[in-house]
Every structure is written in structure tokens, then in C-alpha cells.
Amino acid sequence: MLQGLKSDVYVTANDEEARKKVIELLQPLPFRVLDAGLLKNNRTLERMTLLSRELSLKAGNYPRIAFNLWGLEH
């Protein structure tokens, strides 16, 4: 949790049942676990990670960074 917000964790898999199972297993963690769809979406997630690292370094916040999609009740 950073500044009162839970970090988002994105789960991807081509097998929908596997994705649901992983999401279920991660629920006890102090994160907001989100279904990010198919495995091909990992390319986007990897780039989001690289961008957030670069921005946090510039802002002097690294390594205290977190993804959080606003407007989602979860």
C-alpha cells in the first residue's frame, strides 16, 4: 500500500480458468488483483513497468512506485 492506495497486480493467461485460479490464490495479499486478459497483454504490462520506473526515478520516488487504475471498485 502506498499513500493509502493498494497497488494493482495484473494477472494474464490464455487459459481463463487458470487466470481465475491465480486471481483467487492472490486474494489474501494486500494488493488489488485484476484480470488483465490474455497473455499477449504482458507486452503492454512490461512497458508500463519500465515507464513507471523511469518516471519514479525522475520524481525521486524510486523504488516506491505502484500501479493503480482509478475508478475501479475492487
**pLDDT at residue 3 in the model:** 65
CB 45, CB 39: distance < 8 Å? no
What cell does 55 get? 518516471
Q: Which helix (H) or strand (E) holds 9?
A: strand 8-11
CA atoms of 7 and 48, how far apart (whole Å): 14
Tell me: pLDDT of 72 over 70.
no
Checking if the pLDDT of 17 tops 80, the result is yes
- Mean pLDDT of the 51-57 span: 89
User: Which residues face 62 on adjacent strands?
Assistant: none
What's the whole-number average pLDDT of the chain? 88
Three-class SS state of 25:
helix
